[in-house]
């Protein structure tokens, strides 16, 4: 091919400059900041080695206490949200997959539509649906003569509200992944299983699930990481409450950087959070593919 | 016969689930037409007395939130950001897949490696750097950083790698220049994956919240998501009708685009997921 190295470089350059300026420099600068005492408004206060990391992890100061609280809250959310997020989207996919062909696109679009809604719009809607005083859900409960609940200010209702909002907001994407996987399952296998007298559960267990296992693991992994990034819903719907029980790790980091004016500690927490997420992803890859 | 009965059952169940699923959106729209007293006490979905006051109050001369300015900012940022991402990613992916770039293997592993590092790591340092150079609260941080994402390069690169080179080689033999090949051979080839990248990037920028909330402070520079978040946290929140009218205005453009480009969104999930 007669296209010179110079032209290749020129064409790669726009992306490369953007990548260096807005990705590579921030990553390395972040690591650099985490090794310094650094306040947002006072700037660099000198090299401190790994002291910020020790402060964050040691457990004996207010930064560390808030870090572990945010981490624990986030892990609680990951723990109870992942199964419903994956299973509801799989359930919807199985439903859509069985719908007569003419109606399939309509229902697929319907269940996918919340993907186009921003986290702030989702929060505005669900906060007013679930607000204790004058919220729509409690008005309905009142009409049905059921005692209203203090959804946003009492646990476990606050988590339930966040979970419902998150399920509604995010299942569409995973559902599409599952629908695509289900489309690829060999139809003959179902017929053979049917002849053998298998019921729907056996068909799912021995035919459907093994065929979509790869996509299932992929969805599981991406859902765990997405739940780990919990931020907008808890900031806007519950404001981290009640008693900071829904304050997620990203909310803690933001507070340390801006309210407590400590960019050094905040960036250190962000780096640790990044490492935790990479370890989770790596461990899952290892677990999922170790047999291959 | 049996399958017809099954079709009806499945359709009925799906309709029920769809109605529950659409409830938040339907509730949002109906509530935006309710009067304050009614919206705070009613358990009925449909307004008893319809009012457009919630809309006139957010668009009127005495409006306290410049929601049209926010939407305009979102439109500018989303369009410019998407165009920039598509432009730099197409050139970079083509270079990596087809041209003779020195150090190609290293660049390729950087592109893949960067995908594994979570965004939270770059967020606050990038904010600090934009502040240092005095560009906070301008369009620059709202548009430019999206161009650093490597996902688009990776997508197009993969697509091109699996695609035969026959047409390009024929064009070269015919004496076509680089521009001609890009425009008339490569672009038509990669159209589906470029469409995918365009719709994902568009929606990602439109709905991004944390980053634009860090880099904007004045009301005139906020995007729709940031402005709406301020409304949720502010004193206007006490009126659900007005809050939902603002939410409708901020959300409907994305919903319309989503419904019309639905095909591309569905395809984008297929392309970005695993095969």
* Same domain as B217, residue B98: yes
* Same domain as B80, residue B166: yes
Q: Is residue B122 part of a domain?
A: yes
A9 vs B contacts (CB less than 8 Å)? 101-102
Say if the Cβ atoms of A118 and B224 lie within 8 Å.
yes
Percent of chain B at pLDDT above 70?
A: 98
* Same domain as B170, residue B82: yes
* Same domain as B109, residue B216: yes
Nearest CB to A14; choose among B91, B122, B251? B91
Do residues A33 and B125 lie in contact, with contact meaning Cβ atoms separated by under 8 Å?
yes
ipTM: 0.91
DSSP B273: S
pLDDT digits (tens, 9 = 90+) for A62-96: 999 999 999 999 999 999 999 999 999 999 999 99
Mean pLDDT (whole number) for A111-121: 93
pLDDT of residue B88: 97
CA atoms within 13 A on the CB side of B6: 9
pLDDT of residue B275: 42
Q: Is residue B126 part of a domain?
A: yes
pLDDT digits (tens, 9 = 90+) for B144-181: 999 999 999 999 999 898 888 888 888 888 888 888 88
* Same domain as B202, residue B85: yes
CB atoms within 10 A of CB B140: 13
pLDDT digits (tens, 9 = 90+) for A49-65: 999 999 999 989 999 99
Q: Is residue B249 part of a domain?
A: no
Query: Taking all residues of chain A, what is their mean pLDDT, rounded to a whole number?
Result: 91
Q: Is residue B136 part of a domain?
A: yes
- The model's confidence at residue B123, banded by pLDDT at 50, 70 and 90, is very high
* Same domain as B101, residue B118: yes
pLDDT of residue B1: 47
Count how many pairs of residues, chain A against chain B, have C-beta atoms within 8 Å. 269
* Same domain as B72, residue B55: no
Q: Which residue has the higher pLDDT, B3 or B106?
A: B106
pLDDT digits (tens, 9 = 90+) for B183-219: 888 999 899 899 989 998 999 999 999 999 999 999 9
Nearest CB to B116; choose among A8, A113, A278? A278
* Same domain as B74, residue B20: no
A204 Cα to chain B: minimum distance (Å): 17
* Same domain as B74, residue B30: no
Contact with chain A for residue B10, Cβ under 8 A: yes
DSSP A22: I
- The model's confidence at residue B2, banded by pLDDT at 50, 70 and 90, is low
- The model's confidence at residue A158, banded by pLDDT at 50, 70 and 90, is very high
Strand partners for B207:
none
The residues, ordered by sequence, that sit 6+ positions from A30 with a Cβ below 8 Å of its Cβ are A267, A270, A271, B121, B122, B124, B125
Mean pLDDT (whole number) for A4-33: 94
Q: Is residue B55 part of a domain?
A: yes
Host domain of residue B82 = 67-233
A18 vs B contacts (CB less than 8 Å)? 84, 88, 144, 147-148
* Same domain as B114, residue B47: no
Q: What is the pTM of this model?
A: 0.92
* Same domain as B36, residue B79: no
Would you identify the CATH topology of the domain A53-289?
MetI-like fold (1.10.3720)
Do residues B28 and B249 lie in contact, with contact meaning Cβ atoms separated by under 8 Å?
no
B52 Cα to chain A: minimum distance (Å): 19
Q: Is residue B265 part of a domain?
A: no
pLDDT above 90 for A196: no
Based on the structure, what is the number of domains in chain B? 2
* Same domain as B47, residue B160: no
What are the tokens at A202?
């056996």
Over the range A93-124, which residues count as b (16 or more CB within 10 Å of their CB) and which as e?
Answer: bbbbbbbeeeeeeebbbbbbbbbbbbbbbbbb
């Amino acid at each position: 091919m007669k296209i010179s190295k110079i032209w290749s470089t020129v064409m790669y350059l726009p992306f490369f400059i953007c990548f260096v300026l807005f990705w590579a420099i921030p990553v390395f600068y972040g690591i650099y900041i985490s090794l310094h005492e650094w306040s947002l408004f006072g700037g660099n206060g000198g090299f401190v080695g790994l002291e910020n990391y020790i402060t964050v992890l040691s457990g004996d100061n207010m930064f560390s206490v808030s870090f572990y609280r945010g981490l624990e809250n986030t892990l609680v959310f990951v723990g109870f949200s992942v199964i419903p997020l994956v299973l509801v989207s799989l359930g919807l996919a199985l439903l859509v997959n069985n719908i007569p062909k003419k109606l399939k696109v309509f229902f697929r679009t319907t269940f996918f539509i919340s993907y186009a809604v921003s986290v702030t719009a989702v929060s505005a809607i669900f906060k007013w649906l679930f607000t204790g005083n004058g919220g729509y859900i409690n008005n309905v409960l009142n009409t049905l003569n059921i005692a209203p609940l203090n959804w946003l200010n009492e646990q476990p209702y606050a988590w339930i509200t966040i979970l419902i909002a998150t399920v509604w907001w995010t299942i569409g994407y995973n559902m599409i992944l599952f629908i695509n996987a289900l489309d690829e399952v060999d139809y003959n296998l179902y017929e053979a299983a049917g002849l053998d007298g298998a019921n729907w559960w056996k068909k799912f267990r021995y035919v459907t699930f093994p065929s979509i296992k790869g996509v299932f693991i992929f969805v599981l992994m991406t859902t765990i990481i997405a739940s780990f990034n919990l931020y907008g819903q808890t900031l806007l719907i519950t404001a981290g409450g009640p008693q900071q029980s829904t304050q997620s790790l990203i909310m803690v980091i933001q507070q340390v950087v801006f309210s407590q004016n400590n960019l050094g500690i905040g960036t250190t927490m962000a780096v640790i959070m990044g490492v935790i997420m990479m370890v989770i992803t790596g461990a899952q890859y290892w677990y999922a593919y170790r047999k291959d | 016969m049996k399958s017809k009965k099954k079709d009806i059952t499945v359709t009925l169940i799906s309709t029920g689930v769809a109605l529950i699923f659409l409830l938040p959106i339907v509730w949002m729209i109906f509530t935006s037409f309710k009067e304050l007293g009614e919206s705070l006490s009613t358990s009925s979905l449909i307004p008893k007395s319809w009012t457009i006051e919630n809309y006139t109050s957010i668009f009127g001369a005495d409006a306290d939130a410049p929601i049209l300015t926010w939407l305009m900012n979102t439109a500018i940022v989303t369009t410019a950001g998407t165009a920039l991402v598509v432009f730099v990613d197409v050139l970079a992916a083509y270079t990596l897949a087809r041209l003779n770039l020195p150090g190609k293997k290293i660049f390729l592993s950087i592109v893949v490696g960067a995908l594994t590092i979570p965004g939270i790591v770059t967020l606050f340092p990038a904010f600090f750097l934009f502040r240092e150079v005095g560009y906070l609260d301008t369009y620059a941080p709202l548009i430019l950083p999206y161009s650093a994402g490597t996902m688009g390069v990776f997508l197009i690169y993969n697509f091109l790698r699996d695609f035969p080179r026959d047409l390009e080689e024929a064009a070269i033999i015919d004496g076509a220049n680089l521009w001609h090949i890009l425009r008339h051979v490569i672009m038509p080839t990669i159209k589906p994956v470029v469409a995918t990248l365009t719709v994902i990037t568009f929606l990602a920028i439109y709905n991004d919240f944390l980053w634009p909330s860090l880099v904007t402070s004045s009301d005139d520079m906020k995007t729709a998501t940031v402005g709406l978040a301020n409304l949720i946290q502010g004193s206007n929140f006490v009126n659900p009708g007005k809050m939902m009218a603002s939410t409708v205005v901020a959300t409907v453009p994305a919903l319309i685009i989503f419904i019309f480009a639905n095909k591309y969104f569905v395809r984008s999930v297929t392309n970005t997921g695993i095969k």
